[in-house]
Amino acid sequence: MPEHLKSAVPAGQVRAARADVAERVAAILDDIRERGDEAVRQYSEKFDNWSPESFRLSQDDIARIVADVPETVLDDIRFVQQQVRTFAQAQRDSMHDIEIETLPGVRLGHRHVPVSGAGAYVPGGRYPLTASAHMTIVTAKVAGVSRVAACTPPIRGEIPAATVAAMYLAGADEIYLLGGVQAVAALAVGTQTIGRVPMIAGPGNAYVAEAKRQLFGEVGIDLFAGPTEILVVADEHADPFVVAVDLLSQAEHGPDSPAVLVTTSEDLGREVERHIERLLPTMPTRDFAGPAWRDHGEIVVVDSLDEAFTTADSYASEHVEILTENPRQALERMHDYGALFLGEGTCVSYGDKVIGTNHVLPTRGAARYTGGLWAGKYLKTVTYQEVTDTSSSALLGEVCGRAARVELFEGHARSGDVRAAKYAGAALPWNEEAGA
């Protein structure tokens, strides 16, 4: 049985905090539906101390902002976006339109059609998360989305120039300096100055994630992407210092970011904990990483690698790092995760920042039923049908008539009947009863 060397706070305490978030978000959404831009501006002033004449940046604004970004930063943005674009394009190319003939003259097909527009939420607040622009905007454009409206908040009242540059280079059609629930709501329901979109993508804090959850159905969303999670599976061959550094790398995202170690070695688990206790006080981001590790950090010791993989699956964590002697075993043994990071040569931070796979991934157990953001999330797979052979239409009409009447759908049955009658001379007794 798994043994906890360190446990997280009780689940009930976490649920209570989420209930409070849900109530606050619902009130903001209702207010923005009612008052539009006026409410958006009020919340932007309240939460971000930001109330410009226009939240949307003009082309001149964008050009001026990008011109102030160091060329090395722009080069790195271009490099990373090319990695994301290459992988996203390979994903898109794997999705083929199909058409088959199931009976003579009966053609069935499907096509992958991009949504007409998407809202890309790029988190900011404390840190300029430029990478989220790559993940949401580049991927949408590869999928063929014609209108991408991107939002990011100011940082302490300042324009996050590198993030704006990333949004621009990624191909955003509209860029708004607007964050939080008010940004997501404006994109989803529309205001006097911000046109609504059919879909919203991107990660965010607990409030942004809850806003997406409440708006789902009114608009589409990529997935429920809340506070960042990391789970490391390690055996006795792992380097405890590397494990500790990697756990803290994700804990710094926020005070509610879970960081979990599942290991077959109690000695390694205790050594990892000692490293974390030593490293945390010197981290510049310790005010986030510290509470995250204190409240949501776990070290779980198991008896075998099989148990380690089973335990890891039970968390359905967003990021799962495999630091074992044979890391590729996890590809066959695990199935509930957002993304796997195999071996010491890679790390979750690569996925977050540079390697090219998408970092918008399922959290809070959503990995049990969905994967992360990819080109396919921006596509609707729609079907079409065509019957050009009259004999086949007559046959389908006969079967349709019988099948529909089993379900007591007489109108459906008659649609089949008329084709059987027109193309094969079948009787229409219900038409005769109507005096035809």
Q: For residue 430, what are the CA distances in angstroms to 414, 415, 418, 427? A: 9, 12, 11, 9
Query: What does the chain come to in residues?
Result: 436
230 in Cβ contact with 352 (< 8 Å): no
Q: Which of 83, 59, 180 is nearest to 138 (CA)?
A: 83
How far apart are alpha carbons 208 and 25 in whole angstroms? Answer: 8
Question: CB burial class (10 A; 0-12, 13-18, 19+) of residue 407?
Answer: exposed
Of 174, 252, 298, 318, which is the active-site residue?
318
Q: Which two tokens stand for residue 92?
A: 């898109």
Of 273, 319, 321, 359, which is the active-site residue?
319
Whether 412 is catalytic: no
Q: Which residue in this structure is represented by tokens 């529309």? A: 190
Q: Which residue in this structure is represented by tokens 């290991």? A: 263
Whether 319 is catalytic: yes
Q: Which two tokens stand for residue 212?
A: 């997406």
How far apart are alpha carbons 48 and 26 in whole angstroms? Answer: 19
How far apart are alpha carbons 302 and 311 in whole angstroms? Answer: 8
For residue 361, how many C-alpha atoms fall within 13 Å in the half-sphere facing its CB? 23
For residue 350, how many C-alpha atoms fall within 13 Å in the half-sphere facing its CB? 15
Q: Which of 85, 139, 114 is nearest to 197 (CA)?
A: 114
Active site residues: 318-319
